[in-house]
Amino acid sequence: MRDILKAPWMVEMIRTATNMYGHGWDERNGGNISLLLRKEDVDQYVNVWDVIRTIPTGFSAPDLEGKYFLVTGTGKYFKNVQYAPEVNLGLVRLTEGGRTAELLWGFADGGKFTSEFPAHMMSHVARLKVNPENRVVMHCHPANLLAMTYVHDLDSRSFTRTLWQMCTECIVVFPEGVNVLPWMLCGTNEIGEATAEQMETARLVVWSQHGIYGAGADLDETFGLIETAEKAAEIYMKIAHLPRKNTITDAQMHLLEDHFGVKAREGWLD
């Protein structure tokens, strides 16, 4: 078997978690990542039939039967992922219709996957139906997006339009917009179901007064989605109390649509 710590997907996972902590998005044990892997990505690094232990998931996801996920652990600090990946990360395979996770590597201290695991898996199911190439669900706590949920209307269209107006690139990077949920109790199936429903129409879902969920085809895309939305929110928080003399107009955003070959969510531009 090859060294799993040198697997390209492991190297990228560690690098991404480290960058997220460096950006200030994942204080303490805040935030989580799950990466969907193919069997051929995994079986050269671990014996996929050598199960360390099984962990109940607390939900059902028949669509993910037999799927492999590299996922961050509950109570784990992102700052420590680079130093002890085998403790802070785990490689699991879902069985019994998603009700059980078989641990194949990691969580060496007896830990388990993030408490948001059900929300992640439900979002994976939702995004795979939209884009079969989706591989990543990422949750974190970017300060400016959180701050924005305290002072801005939480209507998804209004929230999105404000972000689009802050940076020229926003409508190009997330033309489908950002969906916004009201405050809900985290770590529950209820918030997972609500998030998955919103993931059917957008790759970014804001949890008001908490954080954001992002989904994408790879770790770079998902990181970049969140990074772009957070930059826009930072600009908004810097100018929200000031009279606005200029903005990116809807007419200009239509020009961006035409130039970059994207289409804004139907009805969200005038």
pLDDT, tens digit, 9 for 90 and up, residues 195-211: 999 999 999 999 999 99
CB 2 within 8 A of CB 44: yes
Residue 187 has pLDDT above 90, yes or no: no
CB neighbourhood size of 194 (10 A): 19
What does pLDDT average to over the chain? 96
The DSSP H or E segment spanning 91 is strand 89-95
240 with 140, same domain: the answer is: yes
Domain interval for residue 196: 116-270
Residue 1 has pLDDT above 90, yes or no: no
Q: Give the CA-trace dihedral at 131, 73, 70, 226, to 10 degrees.
A: 40
Partners of residue 100 on adjacent β-strands: 56, 95
pLDDT in tens, 45-64: 999 999 999 999 988 999 99
121 with 131, same domain: the answer is: yes
134 with 63, same domain: the answer is: no
**Percentage above 70 pLDDT, the chain:** 100
Q: How many structural domains comprise the chain?
A: 2
153 with 190, same domain: the answer is: yes
| Residue where a domain stops, chosen among 55, 79, 114 | 114
158 with 249, same domain: the answer is: yes
Provide the b/e sequence for 63-88 (b: ≥16 CB within 10 Å): bbeebbbbbbbbebbbbbbeeebebb
244 with 268, same domain: the answer is: yes
| Residue where a domain stops, chosen among 87, 114, 141 | 114
Q: How confident is the model at residue 41 (pLDDT cuts 50, 70, 90)?
A: very high
Average pLDDT over residues 28-37: 95
Annotated catalytic residue 193: no
Return the structure tokens found at 243. Answer: 């009279």
Q: Tell me the CATH number at 50.
A: 3.40.225.10
Predicted structure pTM score = 0.95
How would you class 259 by CB atoms within 10 Å of its CB: exposed for 0-12, middle for 13-18, buried for 19 or more? exposed
pLDDT at position 257 is 97
Q: Which of 152, 190, 193, 192 is nearest to 178 (CA)?
A: 152
**Percentage above 90 pLDDT, the chain:** 97
135 with 95, same domain: the answer is: no
108 with 127, same domain: the answer is: no
141 with 102, same domain: the answer is: no
83 with 183, same domain: the answer is: no
Return the structure tokens found at 126. Answer: 């939702």
Q: Which of 116, 176, 230, 234 is catalytic?
A: 116
106 with 139, same domain: the answer is: no
Residue 14 has pLDDT above 90, yes or no: yes
139 with 225, same domain: the answer is: yes
CB neighbourhood size of 205 (10 A): 26
DSSP 106: E
